[in-house]
Chain A
Amino acid sequence: IAGITQAPTSQILAAGRRMTLRCTQDMRHNAMYWYRQDLGLGLRLIHYSNTAGTTGKGEVPDGYSVSRANTDDFPLTLASAVPSQTSVYFCASSVYLGASPLHFGNGTRLTVT
């Protein structure tokens, strides 16, 4: 079934540790995104990518990095996790940046202790 796969589903991480959240899509979409969802704050954009090889910063990029080596994969890395990065992380993709509807993965629930 075509869609977006995120891994892991959930993770408990000690503060200071490095963590990479994985995201893979099989729809050949050009654009990909990472959002975090926090209670009362909605969905906030962390980073996005218009096409393979390009990335851009969103509303809350600090403490996160991304890469887009190919069309299908868009990993999100927390270099040194802090408790404020406890959140649910959603990866999404769309045919084109901005104008097309987003297709979301099922999310990764991350707890930083």
Chain B
Amino acid sequence: AQKVTQAQTEISVVEKEDVTLDCVYETRDTTYYLFWYKQPPSGELVFLIRRNSFDEQNEISGRYSWNFQKSTSSFNFTITASQVVDSAVYFCALSEGTALIFGKGTTLSVSS
């Protein structure tokens, strides 16, 4: 069974639209870590955020925000007022104390 599910394979939006990328995870551990990474067309993998299982506070960083809900095992990522530079593949990942397990990614295309 998949431990990290990113149900949205591809999303297309127009600039300035808000967009939410979904991430659902599965774990039996009480201590775990969740991550989001961005992979722009240039191919490098860029770390965006880490959240541990004991911290359910939502986080905002500029146009990016993350909603962590243990009750639904979700760690969703919202981009407000999207821009063309946000076009990328976004990966959600889970760690239960060992190596990160990644979801299959969501490809976001933002058109002008």
A104 within 8 A of B: yes
Q: Annotate A11-48 by CB proximity to B: 1 below 8 A, 0 otherwise.
A: 00000000000000000000101010000111111001
Name the distance in Å between B91's Cβ and chain A's nearest Cβ.
6
Number of interface residues of B (CB under 8 A): 23
Any chain A CB within 8 A of the CB of B100? Answer: yes
Taking beta carbons and an 8 Å cutoff, which residues of B are in contact with A?
9, 33, 35, 37, 43-45, 47, 50, 52, 91, 93, 95-105
29 pairs, A vs B, C-beta closer than 8 Å: A33-B99, A40-B104, A42-B91, A42-B103, A42-B104, A42-B105, A43-B45, A45-B99, A48-B98, A58-B99, A59-B101, A92-B45, A97-B97, A97-B99, A98-B33, A98-B95, A98-B97, A98-B100, A99-B33, A99-B95, A99-B97, A101-B47, A102-B35, A102-B37, A102-B45, A102-B100, A104-B44, A106-B44, A107-B44
